[in-house]
């Protein structure tokens, strides 16, 4: 069985790594900022650097916040490229700019290593239970080699195109999620201000055309006033910035995304970047001077 290196053990990476350990894989783990004693206790081998992870692994998974972090971990001093073995596959499961994925892939190819961009959707709950949606960019032959591993972390694993296509797909996903949360927030603040019980509104509309996975996940949080992060606002700001940058490079106007970004920026000013992105509702609640609660 292949030895898997896992770099990035935050809210998402830690449970993903745990699921691989539970599936019987041998892991070598490292995180520059987070401790990983719990994973070592479960049987993983702790490493002292990204370079060491690379030297001991057949397949390397990275799960990091943004493009600069991925480039530092893979291309920087003491990085993956310094220790990587010929024939290794690097699977970046971070959500980064498609152009950054292509840059990293080119550097790894020079080391005779393969690359896939494989961002995920589903947040912490689905990372924990191993039911993430995983969208992958890269060569089909490389994808087929790692798909059994990805299947241990996700319920949907789809090859969507060449390198960079995974992150393009994730940007599309993040646009839809952000706009959906904003629409849900706008609608429920309106109905609450009008004096209609928001729980009753949820029950009435969730089975119709307005129903969505986003509504089912986020309205219970909003009703409870629970904005503990499954996916932090600061990360959604990062994703929408990548979406805007990519869209502008391609000459594609995305005005609704730009408007939602401004909502997120307002929440940032109010000190809410560590909250779950369901806190978009707080923006509307502040404007209307009412809270959507049970």
Digit-coded pLDDT (tens) for 66-90: 999 999 999 999 999 999 999 999 9
Write out the residue limits of the CATH 3.40.50.720 domain(s) in the chain: 3-163
**Rg for the chain (alpha carbons), in Å?**
20
User: Among residues of the chain, what percentage have pLDDT more than 90?
Assistant: 97
pLDDT at 221: 97
pLDDT at 35: 94
pLDDT at 121: 93
38: number of Cβ within 10 Å = 12
pLDDT tens across 165-183, in order? 999 999 999 999 999 999 9
CATH architecture of 3-163: 3-Layer(aba) Sandwich (3.40)
pLDDT tens across 123-162, in order? 888 999 999 999 999 999 999 999 999 999 999 999 999 9
pLDDT at 173: 95
Quick check: is 170 catalytic? yes
Mean per-residue pLDDT over the chain, rounded: 97
How distant, in Å, are the alpha carbons of 155, 186, 289 from that of 189? 33, 5, 9
pLDDT-derived band at 1 (thresholds 50, 70, 90) equals confident
What mean pLDDT is predicted for residues 233-248? Answer: 96
How distant, in Å, are the alpha carbons of 20, 168, 184, 243, 292 from that of 188? 39, 30, 6, 27, 7
Domain 168-288 indexed as CATH 1.10.1040.10? yes
132 beta partners: 154
> Whole-model pTM?
0.92
Residues in CB range of 109: below 8 A, 6 or more apart: 115
How many Cα atoms occupy the beta-carbon half-sphere of 278 within 13 Å?
22
72, 75, 81, 87 alpha-carbon torsion, rounded to 10°: 100
pLDDT at 123: 86
pLDDT at 230 over 90: no
Write out the residue limits of the CATH 1.10.1040.10 domain(s) in the chain: 168-288
**Catalytic pick from 18, 51, 170, 218?**
170
133: number of Cβ within 10 Å = 18
pLDDT at 252 over 90: yes
158-163 contacts: CB < 8 A, separation 24 or more?
158/133, 158/134, 160/135, 160/136, 161/137, 162/137, 162/138, 163/101, 163/102, 163/105, 163/115, 163/116, 163/117, 163/137, 163/138
Q: Which carries the bigger pLDDT value, residue 125 or residue 285?
A: 285
CA distance 222 to 188: 10
User: Among residues of the chain, what percentage have pLDDT more than 70?
Assistant: 100
């Amino acid at each position: 069985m292949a030895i898997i290196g896992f770099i990035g053990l935050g809210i998402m990476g830690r449970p993903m790594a745990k699921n691989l350990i539970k599936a019987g894989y041998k892991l070598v783990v490292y995180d520059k900022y987070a401790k990983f004693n719990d994973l070592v206790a479960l049987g993983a081998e702790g490493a002292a650097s990204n370079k060491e992870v690379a030297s001991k692994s057949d397949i390397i998974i990275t799960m990091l916040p943004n493009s600069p972090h991925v480039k530092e971990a893979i291309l920087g001093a003491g990085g993956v490229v310094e220790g990587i073995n010929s024939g290794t596959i690097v699977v970046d499961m971070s959500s980064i700019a498609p152009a950054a994925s292509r840059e990293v892939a080119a550097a790894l190819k020079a080391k005779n290593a393969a690359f896939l961009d494989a961002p995920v959707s589903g947040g912490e709950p689905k990372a924990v239970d191993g039911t993430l949606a995983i969208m992958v960019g890269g060569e089909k032959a490389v994808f087929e080699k790692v798909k059994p591993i990805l299947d241990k972390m996700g319920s949907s694993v789809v090859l969507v195109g060449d390198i960079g296509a995974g992150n393009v797909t994730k940007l599309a996903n993040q646009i839809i999620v952000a706009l959906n949360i904003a629409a849900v927030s706008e609608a429920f603040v309106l109905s609450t201000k009008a004096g209609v019980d928001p729980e009753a509104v949820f029950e009435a509309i969730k089975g119709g055309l307005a129903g969505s996975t986003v509504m089912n996940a986020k309205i219970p949080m909003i009703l409870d006033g629970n904005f503990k992060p499954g996916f932090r606002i600061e990360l959604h700001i990062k994703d929408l910035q990548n979406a805007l940058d990519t869209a502008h490079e391609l000459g594609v106007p995305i005005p609704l995304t730009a408007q939602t970004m401004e909502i997120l920026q307002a929440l940032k000013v109010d000190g809410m970047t560590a909250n779950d992105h369901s806190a978009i509702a707080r923006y509307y609640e502040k404007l209307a001077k009412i809270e959507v609660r049970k």
